[in-house]
Structure 1
Amino acid sequence: MIKILLAEDQSLVRQGLKLMIETDKELQIIGEASNGQEAIDLCEKQSFDLAILDIRMPIMTGLEAMRIIRKRWPDIIVLILTTFNDEEYALEALKYKASGYLLKDGESEELIRSIRSALEGGLVIEDQVAAKVMPALMKSQMHTLEKNHSLTNRELDIMACIGEGMNNQEIAAELFLSVGTVKNHISVVLDKLDLRDRTQIAIYALKRDIKR
């Protein structure tokens, strides 16, 4: 069972999301919060595999809660769910290593697929959000993209897969590697390129047109 924390200030919306998510029998909402502070309080009392946080909530926003959760409980995967297709919000969410930025108007099947992908190490960004944030992220990383680095063919293959949006399990299956080996290669790539996370690897791959 995947233990999920759901933070959403509107009770009806929260209950609707819960019903949608729990159509997958392996996903269970075991903690509900109406603001970021309540989400933090729940994390102190229970263990969660994943947290889904609305951005705009009273007392403490989802972004503020995410910063604390990522610092204190780094193993908890965080997805941001919002009605706001806003570049600034999305950039901040990715800066603090959210595993996804989703809009509330998506279908239940799409939401479940996104949760599954994030749990497997994927990064999930709605297409219309990605269209806004990718140019800004690329611009911020231009100094890194201009560096000359020595990458092995295997590292380039893994970077290409990340650029295609694959998660670790999918990369492992595609390249006939173990998930652990994929994670090790990713760590080496991050170190070689002085990048922060797989989002920046994806940007690097797209900018350099790295393909398999």
Structure 2
Amino acid sequence: MIKIGIIDDEVLFSNGLKEILEREKNFEVFQVYKHPDELLQQWQQSPLRPDVLLMDIKMPKINGIELTKMLAEKSPDVKIIGLSSHYSKVLIFKMLKLGAAAYIPKNVSIDRLVRTINNVYEQGFYFEDIALKSFYNKTLRQKDEKELFNHGLTNREMDILMLICEQLTNQEIADKLFISLKTVENHRTNLFAKINAKNVVGAVLFALEHKLIDHSII
């Protein structure tokens, strides 16, 4: 059962989304929050967290960008999916860089919404629309290939980065490389620290920025 949280200042939208999600057998709506202050207060009082948090990007006082940064540092295990009724490449890129696992527009189909939540829960990230391709094309024009050699990644860390981008789990990576799960976890921790990645999305974006992978494999 995937526990899902929803935070959006539009109550009608949140309630409608809650009803849709509760129709899915493997979804449980953990909590609906009206604003960031409510979420932060409840999370401070209780250790319970949703597995996936659907978050509106544009909210008063604390917007989705700022809240993503805060939650990625305090509750990194919660996978954040950005929601917005206004498509903005800048906002999407910021949110992904700060730790969000995916982005979907508010007018998305139910099938795509369900697919995104399931993939984010299982793989840690999910990219489907043109946002990633736009990011890829933009960053390739800005980055110098020489930057790749300044991060000091070992061959094993490079192997693991490539397999992360192929959406393999830690156990699948361990099986493929014939190493223990603990070894994979240690390499992954070191890798993320070196490339300053908060989560899987950050690792994938790093690989795209430095021409290690082509966007077509994702």
From 118, 124, 127, the counterpart of 1:125: 127
Q: Distance in 1 between matches of 2:205 and 2:76?
A: 23
The aligned residue for residue 11 of structure 2 is: 11
**What pairs with 1:1-212 in structure 2 (closer than 5 Å)?**
1-46=1-46, 47-49=48-50, 50-138=52-140, 142=144, 144-147=147-150, 149=152, 151-152=154-155, 154-168=156-170, 171=173, 180-191=182-193, 194-197=194-197, 198-206=200-208, 207-209=211-213
1:103·1:126 contact (CA, 8 Å) conserved in 2?
Answer: no
TM value normalised by structure 1: 0.77
Q: CA deviation at 1:165?
A: 4.1
1:123·1:167 contact (CA, 8 Å) conserved in 2?
Answer: no
Where 1:32 maps in the other structure, the secondary structure is strand
For this pair of structures, how many residues does the alignment match? Answer: 208
User: What are the superposed Cα offsets for residues 56-110 of structure 1, whole Å, 9 maximum, x if unpaired?
Assistant: 1233322222222223333322221112321211122123211222222322232
Q: CA deviation at 1:195?
A: 0.3
Give 2:90's aligned amino acid. Answer: E
Query: Gaps spanning 5+ residues in structure 1: where?
Result: none
Q: CA deviation at 1:55?
A: 0.8
TM value normalised by structure 2: 0.76
Distance 1:150 1:26, change over 3 A: closer
Query: Gaps spanning 5+ residues in structure 2: where?
Result: none
Where 2:150 maps in the other structure, the secondary structure is coil
2:35·2:59 contact (CA, 8 Å) conserved in 1?
Answer: yes
The answer to which structure, 1 or 2, has the higher relative contact order (CA under 8 A, 6+ apart) is: 2
